[in-house]
Structure 1
Amino acid sequence: MDLIENLVELDGVEKVFDVRRRTGLLRREKTQVRAVDGISFSVPRGEMVGYIGPNGAGKSTTIKMLTGILTPSSGRVRVAGIDPSRERTRLARRIGVVFGQRTTLWWDLPLRDSYRLMHRMYRIPDDRFKVNMARCVEQLDLGELLDVPVRQLSLGQRMRGDIAAALLHDPEVLYLDEPTIGLDVISKAKVRDFLRDLNAERGTTVLLTTHDLTDIEQLCKRVMVIDHGRLVYDGALAGLHEVGESERTLVVDLERELPPVEVAGARVVKVEGPRQWLAFPASVSAAPLVAAVAQRYPLVDLSVREPDIEAVIAKMYADRSAL
């Protein structure tokens, strides 16, 4: 197996769909929709990258081209040195995919039987399958679910089952679409820890699409933003916040109702009884602000709310359009 430095490569990739719309009783008009518009990027071996954007931006279309489900209208796509649309079967042995709300598991079979089928389909060596299976079951807390039919699993349980299924054959590249959707706080933490360990121990390359910025912050050093089919940002998350001028919110619960809190680096945007909302730049640490509030005010509780990624992207896009 060739050791390729950039496991994922796109160069000037476009995807155009022909859409027919009814314009009269017997007439239809054909129009073109450009879902991906000249995207170029590469992902080095072992990197975890967040690939984010609003709904309809082109994220899923990109992933489908990277897996060979869709063929690019133009441009060049390579994954592990393979053209996905021409060698989809060969590529399948080197990638793992979790598509959000769509399961790769057999609906009426227990998880255990789905995994046994994948054992045969991917021709995974018995010893490797046992090791991977045990690891996934333990770290994703699947032990009590193995004999439950997939149709009886909750969304969060099925998501954990799908993540395990995508990793049984030791893929080099893992595509994840909303991997923590439907999970509670504890389960989210387990999945993030599992993915972090997977990347650190096995060097698995991960492309993660999500609307949960906490997933990106805890797992990815690099983030790419796509909007209207174009790559509008590629860099560190802190840089994204700076470009989008986004803000986080510190929600403060005081012992009693008080005048608006006054601390350097933040401003009060809302007050409801003893609860106050303070906005501060998303690119700076919340720690000094939290310490200042705790020192100067009778504090009961506080929490930090992340900025709305869609608002950040909308601001970025508005700025680009104004140029």
Structure 2
Amino acid sequence: MSIIQIENLCKSFKVLNRHQGFGGAVRDLFSRDYKIVKAVDNISMSIDKGEMVGFVGPNGAGKSTTIKMMTGVLEPTSGSIKVDNFVPYKQRMKYVQNIGVVFGQRTQLWWELPVIESFRILKEIFEIDDKTYNTNMGLFNDLVGLDSLHSTPVRFLSLGQRMLCDIVAAFLHNPKIIFLDEPTIGLDVSIKNKIRGVIKELNTRNKTTILLTTHDISDLEILCKRIIIVDKGSTIFDGDIQKVNSLFGAYRVLRLEMSEQFDLEELSNKIKSNFKCRKLPEIEASEDGWINITINLDEIKLVDMLNYLLTLFPLKDIKVEEVPTEKIIREIYEGGLK
């Protein structure tokens, strides 16, 4: 059963064509020279109750605008949107009681108050009964030891601690739907794992529907089975994350550690001149000093590539790895599925 239903959703903004300089600023005060910018262009999606879906795309793809329409902050230009049987921008007062929102760079906690006081205020705002509040606080304490932060003013929390508390605040009233916008941005590995653990546990326990926007591919791999990829305001992929990987299953990354100095451009030219195929191998130097060569096994046999490389340079070490999901998604952005 779909809890989020979006059909042909569009959002356009009227943007003033500005002129330069002081004179231009004065002209702009009376100008009617506008252009129409489409931030979201005919997006459709259906998300079932309890699903955890990754919503990804490059900067400017229309993700944040879509989420703002889902939360009722913006009204669509055209199309229909229904979340939990509410039209968000028309029934916002009732609708927001059943959702939670976390934005990575903003907090819903009170800056000067201890953490526990922020939770108590939210308890009153959402009219959470004592039993539910105490049960949830006990669960959060069991999961991440949150009670150690209760007496700390929010302004003294580290970024990771504050984000953890913001996620707890979003789940406090047992919402049916959670919108998470970059929940792990700028955090260290330890805190990221705690946040992912909380999200996964609460999704499993409460069947909470979660829409996750992130640039951290690890978040998608750990938390989501389905991803929706948007670019330039339109959906370019909607499906199982494993399907994305399978579409590039014939690709492998051959990692080489050289035992002597080499010229990357010379190596690249030699490989490309020796192997004639539809899509040439991608060759790049990684930060750890290794050389990464991405090849399509349907066009170049791995053993042929290795034999050729051994005739060029003495190799210190060799590794063969699957193509990272991040690289696959970048290929999709650039039209790799067309």
> TM-score, normalised to structure 1's length?
0.80
The 8 Å contact of residues 45 and 205 in structure 1, kept in 2 or not, is answered as: yes
Corresponding letter in the other structure for 1:315? E
The 8 Å contact of residues 54 and 226 in structure 2, kept in 1 or not, is answered as: yes
Selected match of 1:169 from 173, 176, 184: 173
Selected match of 1:276 from 278, 287, 290: 290
The 8 Å contact of residues 56 and 228 in structure 2, kept in 1 or not, is answered as: yes
- Is the partner of 1:223 in helix, strand or coil? strand
- The answer to whether structure 1 residue 12 and structure 2 residue 11 are counterparts is no
CA radius of gyration, larger in: 2
Q: What is the CA-CA distance between 1:278 and the residue it aligns to?
A: 3.7
The 8 Å contact of residues 38 and 230 in structure 1, kept in 2 or not, is answered as: yes
Find the aligned partners of 2:164 and 2:65 in 1 and give their Cα distance.
Answer: 23
Correspondence for 1:238: 242
Correspondence for 2:65: 61
Correspondence for 2:127: 123
Selected match of 1:203 from 200, 207, 213: 207
Which is further off, 138-147 or 43-52? 138-147
- Is the partner of 2:290 in helix, strand or coil? strand
- Is the partner of 2:326 in helix, strand or coil? coil
Correspondence for 2:221: 217
Higher helix share: 2
Find the aligned partners of 2:54 and 2:202 in 1 and give their Cα distance.
Answer: 16
- Is the partner of 1:81 in helix, strand or coil? coil
The 8 Å contact of residues 282 and 294 in structure 2, kept in 1 or not, is answered as: no
Find the aligned partners of 2:156 and 2:251 in 1 and give their Cα distance.
Answer: 40
The 8 Å contact of residues 269 and 279 in structure 1, kept in 2 or not, is answered as: yes
Aligned length: 301
- Is the partner of 2:15 in helix, strand or coil? strand
Find the aligned partners of 1:177 and 1:158 in 2 and give their Cα distance.
Answer: 15
The 8 Å contact of residues 35 and 58 in structure 1, kept in 2 or not, is answered as: yes
- Provide Cα deviations, 1:174-210, integer angstroms capped at 9, x if missing partner: 1111111232212212221222221222111110000
Find the aligned partners of 1:118 and 1:273 in 2 and give their Cα distance.
Answer: 45
> TM-score, normalised to structure 2's length?
0.77
Structure 1 pair 151–298 and aligned structure 2 pair: CA distance change class (3 A): same
Structure 1 pair 85–302 and aligned structure 2 pair: CA distance change class (3 A): same
The 8 Å contact of residues 283 and 294 in structure 2, kept in 1 or not, is answered as: no
Correspondence for 1:21: 17
Find the aligned partners of 2:48 and 2:287 in 1 and give their Cα distance.
Answer: 51
Corresponding letter in the other structure for 2:61? A
| Structure 1 unaligned blocks of 5 or more | 261-266, 283-296
The 8 Å contact of residues 245 and 325 in structure 2, kept in 1 or not, is answered as: no
| Structure 2 unaligned blocks of 5 or more | 268-280, 297-314
After TM superposition, list the pairs within 5 Å mapping 1:99-138 onto structure 2: 99-138=103-142
Corresponding letter in the other structure for 1:17? F
Corresponding letter in the other structure for 2:34? K
Find the aligned partners of 2:250 and 2:209 in 1 and give their Cα distance.
Answer: 29
Structure 1 pair 94–185 and aligned structure 2 pair: CA distance change class (3 A): same
RMSD over equivalenced CA pairs, Å:
3.7
Which is further off, 234-243 or 76-85? 234-243
